[in-house]
Amino acid sequence: MPDRVLSIIQARTGSTRLPSKVLLDLAGKPVLQHVIERIARSALTTQFIVATTINPADLAIVRLCADLGVSVYCGSEDDPLERYYQAAHLFCGSHIVRIKADCPLIDPEIVDRAIRLHLSSGADYTGNTLQRTYPVGQDVEIMTAATLTRLWKCAGLFSEREHITLYIPKHPEMFRIEHLRQQRDHSAKRWTMDMPEDYELLRAIFQNLHPKNPFFGMSDVIDFLSKNPGLERINAHIPVDAGVRKSLSSDHVVALPT
């Protein structure tokens, strides 16, 4: 049976730092729609879906996916890893690509680069976040179905279940890990959308680049920001791992699935 590469876009409206961020407007479309349209351009993705929660507030995400003709899975609000595992199991992915809905600049060429490396290397997990050279917001992680099952069974801390793959770098002896890197280090650039300042920066990028080319890539953004260096100061004070830090501050042991 050929490899079935399933991209799962995590999306929910319940962010406390920037409420309903995945539905905020960028150049006339919701953030999530930009992510969906970009992942749809991945040549190596067999299928992509959106995984959201059973919280009634997330019906807005379900409606958007219905309007766009995109498959959606609604699962646990309190246990993102449970939601992710069940979605992957339902849609029968042999390799699972983790995509975050708050990364509207995700470049499908980078996604395909990561998938190609993952499939050729035979790794359990491949990503560009553990040894970062890509901007925050170009995050792509891929794991085998067996690796996701292991995470689902073994990750016992709240932070590990909230951030899906956090268990892997804490237990590198358990996994064959491959890192996607690029020659130039752009790890200091922050293109995700977690805070109001992030949204301000992304609006400026989309307002300037989207009308000319809706699927502008990472190199286009780097070129634009090099000509407008003041824009990057908008969110430069936010730590790369702000979300993980918050999760770790309230960490606790959770009950594992049986």
Rounded CA-CA distance 199/206 in Å is 10
Residue 126 φ/ψ, nearest 5 degrees: -135, 135
Prediction pTM value: 0.93
* 5-249 carries CATH number 3.40.30.10: no
pLDDT in tens, the chain (258 residues): 468 999 999 999 988 889 899 999 999 999 999 999 999 999 999 999 999 999 999 999 999 999 999 999 999 999 999 999 999 999 999 999 999 999 999 999 999 999 999 999 999 999 999 999 999 999 999 999 999 999 999 998 989 999 999 999 999 999 999 999 999 999 999 999 999 999 999 999 999 999 999 999 999 999 999 999 999 999 999 987 665 555 555 656 776 676
Rounded CA-CA distance 31/46 in Å is 23
HSE-up (13 A, CA, CB side) for residue 7 = 27
Helix 31-39 vs helix 59-68: crossing angle, to nearest 10 = 40
